[in-house]
Chain A
Amino acid sequence: QVQLVQSGAEVKKPGASVKVSCKASGYSFTSYGISWVRQAPGQGLEWMGWISPYNDDTRHAQNFQGRVTMTTDTSTTTAYMELRGLTSDDTAVYYCARDADSGWYSKAYWGQGTLVTVSS
């Protein structure tokens, strides 16, 4: 069965960077893209960007241009999201999500989420 297992919770200081991993299994890793979506405490979902493990094509939300880097490692079927220049506003649960069969516009499978806390 399709599984996305994310790395554990992180605590970072303002100005630091964080790198979250998402280990995929149960499907052909290069056949589906991975999106990153975050959710601040008590808030809604925010799409951050998308990467294709097939050819490393990426799409970024305007809010995160220049501050987020998404990568994949096909040898370990793992996707990564690095966010730089952290502020308290970046405190959130970060999810990875796999494309649905219908395309990248829908997310059929989600990781369990990684809580990133930014605090001095």
Chain B
Amino acid sequence: QSALTQPASVSGSPGQSITFSCTGTSSDVGTYDLVSWYQQHPGKPPKLVIYEVTKRPSGVSDRFSGSRSGNTASLTLSGLQAEDEADYYCCSYAGSRNLVFGGGTRLTVL
């Protein structure tokens, strides 16, 4: 199972909006409404911020939103803050009882 493709890094200034992309195939992202996104700060475990493509867990800021077009899922983070600086990972169901993660994108807040 190949990892989903994410850009290695993105950057933005406070107050801006940033979009993270996650490209898979018709065997995973493109077929199943089962894409999740995780935020991970250095030395910490990941935190779920989006599940089932667009849904936000209770307690997660409404600055996070998710979407999908074809084989690419996206996470948008609006009103960028210094504390948002972290790594962001997508994850998708890939059929045959498998999950696959993306390689992660490092967000730098300028």
Separation of A111 and B89 alpha carbons in the complex (Å): 17
Q: Are A107 and B36 in contact (CB under 8 A)?
A: yes
**B45-A46 in contact (CB<8A):** no
Q: Please, what's the 1-or-0 string for A94-111, where 1 marks a CB less than 8 Å from any CB in chain B?
A: 010100101101111011
Is B93 a contact partner of A105 (Cβ separation < 8 A)? yes
Q: How far is the CA of A112 from the CA of B40 in the complex (A)?
A: 12
A95-B45, A108-B48 as given contacts; A100 in contact with B38, CB under 8 Å: no
Residues in B neighbouring A103, C-beta threshold 8 A: 34
Most buried by B among A59, A100, A105: A105
- Measured between alpha carbons, how far is A110 from B57 in the docked complex, in Å? 15
Residue A44 at the B interface, CB < 8 A?
A: yes
Interface pair B38/A45, CB less than 8 Å apart: yes
A35 to B47, CA, bound (A): 14
Alpha-carbon gap, A100 to B46, bound state (A): 13
Q: State whether B45 touches A113 (Cβ < 8 A).
A: yes
Complex CA distance for A59 and B45, rounded to whole angstroms: 22
Q: In the assembled complex, which residues on chain A have CB atoms less than 8 Å from the CB atom of B34?
A: 103, 105-106
In the complex, how many angstroms separate the beta carbon of B92 from the nearest chain A beta carbon?
8
Q: Which residues of B contact A111 (CB under 8 A)?
A: 45
B12 at the interface (CB under 8 A from A): no
Contact A61 B1 (CB under 8 A): yes
Chain B, range 20-50, C-beta contacts under 8 Å to A: 34, 36, 38, 40, 45-48
Chain A contact residues, CB within 8 Å of chain B: 35, 37, 44-47, 50, 59, 61-63, 95, 97, 100, 102-103, 105-108, 110-113
B contact set with A: CB distance below 8 Å: 1, 3, 34, 36, 38, 40, 45-48, 51-52, 55, 57, 89, 91, 93, 97-104
